[in-house]
A = this chain, B = another copy of it.
Amino acid sequence: MNKDIEIAQQTTLEPIHNIAEQLHLTREDWEPYGQTKAKLSEQLFEKLKHKKSGKIILVTSINPTPAGEGKSTVTVGLGQALNQIGKKAIIALREPSLGPVMGLKGGAAGGGYSQVLPMEDINLHFTGDIHAITTANNALAAFIDNHIHRGNTLQIDARRIEWKRVLDINDRALRQTIIGLGGPKQGVPREDGFTITVASEIMAVLCLATDLQDLKQKLAAIVVGYTFDNQPVTVGDLKVEGALTLLLKDAMKPNLVQTTENTPAIIHGGPFANIAHGCNSIIATKTAAKLADYTVTEAGFGADLGAEKYFHIKSRAGNIQTSAVVIVATVRALKMHGGIAKDKLATENIAALEAGMDNLQKHIETIQAFHVPFVVAINQFPTDTEQETTFIQEWCQERGYEVALTTVWADGGKGGIDLAEKIIAKADGFNSTYQPLYDLDEPLTEKMRKVAQKVYGAHDIELTKSAQEQLRFFEEQGWSNLPVCMAKTQYSLSDNPALLGRPTGFTITIRELRASIGAGFIVALTGDVLTMPGLPAKPAALQMDVGEDGKAKGLF
């Protein structure tokens, strides 16, 4: 079996101007970044504003397991399949974070014959968007500490600065730090910590902004900390929203690339799916919808996190209409939800599979609750037996759920044609819009409770004492009308990562609330949420190299 990077390097890429022409873009609509990448211009969306938007298809999944689900691979494969059956389709994906690429996991650019390319660039620096966010985030941090060092006119309480520095690196040693040491010339000592760049509120802001001026307004609204009098201090108070917007000017432009089958793909933005909303940018998704009849996009993690936030946060902020949902499941992951360990997955086990179907069932019910049609996609792995895949298919058919088997990793778009035909039938037949599970004017606790009960299947929520205090404070600030952004483990429907399948009777503990006023949501943290990953004992970086031919080696 070829590795992803080998398949990627064997693929003949079209020059990016051919991809742009395929989308009927003129030379003013885009800028090249190398021969196979481009940035779409700021004016493009404005220019296309009055054009009818195509249908948007969201790809989500069951709760992820270490067995792998291949959601991005299915997203890319489905886009390719749509093109193969003569539809004009485009893919809108999140940008991978470099830190994890150096650490443990493979890339986030799909796999096999369903990848976005050039995968080396996309998984590394790409067009620099994440670096621009790192810079803007850390410039803001420096402005804050400089303000305090220079006399602290705003009376910022150094113990209550919420704004953290970031790096796009898995760097455990930076989680908890003390900065500003060395005496009066070096700054004001205080506790601090770094998160990974994609967890920065600026990333969430960029993904939810509809244009540059909206970006600037949202940046200005970011609350970076509190005064000694407990009043919020914003970026606008520091008067640096213009400088931050300038630093993000190019990062706001969506990136155009292509897949292994030369299908156009827009890759833009990648907010952390637990601390933030985990979807690619609104501007990318909306631009894509103007350029094609079908846009295939995805949301981070399982439907309990990604799809919920996609519908409640991204779709609301961008007024996005979604026509159909693909729920990706794999035999391997369902068997893990049925109680089987990772090293036993290669053996056929119908009983475990049957036990694990509960997890899929819950996510189906969630999508049904949003009132959007869906198709279940079984993303086939080489170890799956025919009996196993047949079992899932029959299970779906018995319940009246549309289901398709996909082999897009091995076969590219061809392996997703059945899925493509079935999802189009759903999307084309759907003219209404989704129904949110809560209204914005409900109290924050009620919003959290509804997500916990309707999406996770929890008995109820429970707020810790400090979360209750924060809640009261946030309500006093007038932040009650914002949507909630749940920060929860992706591995379980509950807040306990060990509870696979479909747990019941559990309570979701809301440990802490955080105000992402720029992004426009209140983060509710359940359990421990890690915002700065660490490196494993043997980082993936140890295998990486550049060959004598100048090509990337060992990337995956």
Contacts and interface: CB of A to CB of B under 8 A. Distances in A.
Interface of A: 31-35, 39, 42-43, 98, 102, 121, 124-125, 127-128, 131-132, 134-135, 138-139, 141-143, 145-146, 149-150, 165, 167-182, 185-188, 212-213, 216, 239-240, 242-243, 245-247, 249-250, 534-535, 537, 539, 541-546, 548, 550, 552-555
A100 to B, nearest CB: 12
A216 B546 contact: yes
Contacts of A139: 102, 169, 541
A176 B181 contact: yes
Q: Which 8 A-B pairs have the closest CB atoms?
A: A242-B545, A131-B131, A173-B187, A243-B541, A176-B182, A145-B173, A176-B181, A243-B544
Contacts of A35: 31-32
B145 A167 contact: no
A179 B176 CA distance: 6
A186 B173 contact: yes
Contacts of A43: 550
A339 to B, nearest CB: 28
A171 B186 contact: no
Given A175-B181, A212-B546, 13 more contacts: A32-B33, A33-B33, A42-B550, A125-B247, A128-B131, A131-B131, A134-B134, A146-B539, A172-B180, A173-B187, A176-B180, A177-B178, A246-B552
Contacts of A146: 172-173, 534-535, 539
Contacts of A34: 31-33, 39
A545 B245 contact: yes
A314 B171 CA distance: 34
Select the residue from A170, A242, A543 with max chain B CB neighbours within 10 A.
A242
Contacts of A98: 135
Contacts of A174: 165, 179
A131 B179 CA distance: 22
A492 to B, nearest CB: 21
16 contacts: A134-B134, A135-B168, A142-B170, A142-B171, A146-B539, A149-B534, A173-B179, A173-B188, A178-B181, A239-B542, A240-B539, A243-B544, A246-B546, A246-B552, A246-B553, A249-B552
Contacts of A250: 121, 125
A240 B142 CA distance: 30
A212 B213 CA distance: 41
A409 to B, nearest CB: 25
A167 B43 CA distance: 32
Contact of A537 (B39, B132, B150, B550): B150
Select the residue from A31, A142, A165, A543 with max chain B CB neighbours within 10 A.
A142
A174 B181 CA distance: 8
A249 B131 contact: no
A225 to B, nearest CB: 14
Contact of A247 (B124, B143, B172): B124
A175 B150 contact: no
B175 A186 contact: yes
A39 B550 CA distance: 15
A151 B127 CA distance: 37
A541 B174 CA distance: 27
Contacts of A173: 142, 145-146, 149, 179-180, 186-188
A172 B537 CA distance: 33
Contacts of A135: 98, 125, 131, 168-169
B171 A182 contact: no
Nearest to A175: B186
B187 A172 contact: yes
Contacts of A212: 546, 550
Contacts of A213: 548
A192 to B, nearest CB: 8
A143 B541 contact: yes
B240 A541 contact: yes
A242 B548 CA distance: 12
A32 to B, nearest CB: 4
Contacts of A546: 212, 216, 242, 245-246, 249
A245 B246 CA distance: 30
Contact of A181 (B177, B180, B188): B177
A553 B242 contact: yes
A220 B213 CA distance: 46
A33 B541 CA distance: 27
A247 B545 CA distance: 9
A169 B138 contact: yes
Contacts of A554: 242
Contacts of A149: 172-173, 534
A550 B249 contact: yes
